[in-house]
């Protein structure tokens, strides 16, 4: 089996609104990768484009704009989980021997409509994504005594990390009091517990072992993959008690097994924090702390969580998020994260999910 390397990566500045088209946004990080690395356009075997936009043939349009004529080119969409789905697909193209090099790009315009899941009849009127976050938060508070302040802390910490990330949308400090006093959206979720849907893009170049060694001296390797899908509706999202995300647990178990590691081997993690409660759930479901202890765990220093600022600090361009998470972990592992560098990272984990956690992906990278 071919080993697969994350050989290059780039992320654009996430913006509240830009005049750039989906394709201009998508091109930005790809151009950076092509400029900075010893990879030729004609060496790229596949271009996969992760986006929830309704633009058709968008992967081919992007390829043309980049001047790349790949063998394989298509768009991949699975809501917030699109980017990580595209990375795993790219992994399989290389691992199978069908390709040696796959450029995975993700881009989104803030105007992409995905904050309401109107097809989900199990939600009744609760089609806004914030409604399920509120259900989870309330359940966790009831069962484990998790507090609104503990949730607020997640936002404070991730925004603090984002201060050091020039691509993040929110680069100014906030306090727990700021979060607590921000507008209540759906009890107990407040405005600053929520991420912000924005314009943004990110890209990753995955290479076979042979190619990677020509392009970079310190490749980061894909060590483990786990994915699981329970369905699409809210009533498929959780275990009976709404305090954990089943797909994350299954995906994590699979990823740890395939990488032959345990949660305590992870040095750095980018996890899905579209709402503050989700970081608490993820810390438990990924096995970093015991069930119910997530609220306390987020206030620790053992594990580097969301060093780029997470989704709360960076903003959430849906199709780009999984790629930006992976780009950050790859940067940390290759000691290229600049001001944000965490010392001595050897193993990193990316966790992404979509639609109330009805699907989740966990990817483990290592040096």
Q: List residues near a second copy by CB under 8 A.
A: 1, 47, 52, 54-61, 63-64, 69-79, 81-82, 85-86, 88-89, 91-93, 95-98, 114, 117, 119, 225-233, 236, 251, 254, 354-355, 358-359
DSSP-assigned beta bridge partners for residue 47 = 73, 103
- Which residue in 80, 131, 198, 314 is the catalytic one? 80
Residue 183 and residue 190: Cα distance in Å, rounded? 5
- Which residue in 140, 228, 272, 316 is the catalytic one? 316
Whole-number minimum distance, CB 202 to a second copy, in Å?
Answer: 18
Q: DSSP code of 194?
A: B
Whole-number minimum distance, CB 83 to a second copy, in Å?
Answer: 11
Q: CB-based contacts of 82: which residues, under 8 Å, 6+ apart?
A: 50, 51, 52, 76, 106, 318, 319, 322, 354
For residues 200 and 324, is the Cβ–Cβ distance under 8 A?
yes
316: annotated active-site residue? yes
Using CA atoms, how far residue 361 sits from 127, 156, 259, 282, 305, in Å, is 23, 25, 14, 12, 17
42: annotated active-site residue? no
Which residue, 73 or 161, is less far from a second copy as judged by CB?
73
Residue 277 and residue 108: Cα distance in Å, rounded? 24
Which residue, 226 or 310, is less far from a second copy as judged by CB?
226
Residue 211 and residue 195: Cα distance in Å, rounded? 37
Whole-number minimum distance, CB 319 to a second copy, in Å?
Answer: 11
Residue 207 and residue 220: Cα distance in Å, rounded? 10
Whole-number minimum distance, CB 294 to a second copy, in Å?
Answer: 25
Which residue, 64 or 149, is less far from a second copy as judged by CB?
64
Whole-number minimum distance, CB 117 to a second copy, in Å?
Answer: 7
Which residue, 197 or 298, is less far from a second copy as judged by CB?
197
For residues 358 and 81, is the Cβ–Cβ distance under 8 A?
no
Residue 173 and residue 161: Cα distance in Å, rounded? 9
Which residue, 45 or 193, is less far from a second copy as judged by CB?
45
Residues designated catalytic: 80, 316
């Amino acid at each position: 089996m071919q080993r697969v390397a994350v050989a290059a990566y780039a992320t654009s500045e996430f913006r509240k609104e830009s005049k750039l088209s989906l394709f201009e946004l998508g091109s930005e990080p790809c151009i950076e990768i092509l400029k900075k690395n010893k990879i030729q356009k004609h060496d790229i075997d596949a271009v996969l484009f992760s986006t929830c936009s309704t633009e058709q043939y968008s992967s081919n349009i992007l390829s043309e704009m980049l001047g790349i004529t790949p063998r394989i080119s298509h768009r991949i969409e699975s809501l917030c989980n699109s980017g990580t789905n595209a990375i795993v697909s790219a992994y399989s193209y290389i691992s199978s021997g069908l390709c040696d090099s796959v450029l995975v790009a993700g881009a989104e315009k803030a105007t992409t409509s995905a904050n309401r899941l109107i097809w989900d009849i199990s939600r009744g009127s609760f089609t806004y994504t914030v409604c399920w976050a509120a259900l989870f938060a309330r359940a966790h508070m009831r069962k484990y005594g998790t507090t609104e302040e503990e949730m607020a802390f997640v936002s404070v910490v991730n925004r603090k990390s984002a201060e050091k990330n020039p691509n993040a949308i929110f680069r100014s400090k906030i306090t727990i009091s700021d979060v607590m006093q921000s507008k209540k959206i759906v009890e107990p979720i407040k405005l600053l517990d929520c991420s912000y849907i924005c314009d943004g893009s990110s890209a990753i170049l995955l290479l076979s072992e042979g190619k990677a060694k020509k392009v970079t001296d310190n490749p980061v390797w894909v060590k483990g993959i786990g994915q699981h899908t329970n369905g699409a509706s809210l009533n498929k999202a959780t275990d009976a008690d709404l305090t954990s995300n089943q797909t994350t647990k299954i995906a994590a178990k699979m990823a740890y097994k395939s990488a032959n590691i345990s949660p305590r081997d992870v040095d750095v993690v980018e996890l899905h924090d579209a709402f503050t409660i989700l970081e608490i759930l993820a810390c438990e479901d990924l096995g970093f702390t015991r069930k119910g202890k997530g609220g306390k765990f987020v206030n620790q220093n053992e594990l580097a969580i969301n060093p780029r600022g997470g989704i709360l600090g960076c903003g959430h361009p849906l199709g780009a998020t999984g790629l930006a998470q992976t780009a950050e972990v790859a940067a940390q592992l290759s000691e290229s994260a600049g001001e944000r560098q965490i010392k001595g990272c050897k193993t990193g984990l990316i966790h992404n999910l979509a639609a109330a956690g009805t699907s989740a992906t966990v990817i483990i990278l290592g040096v």
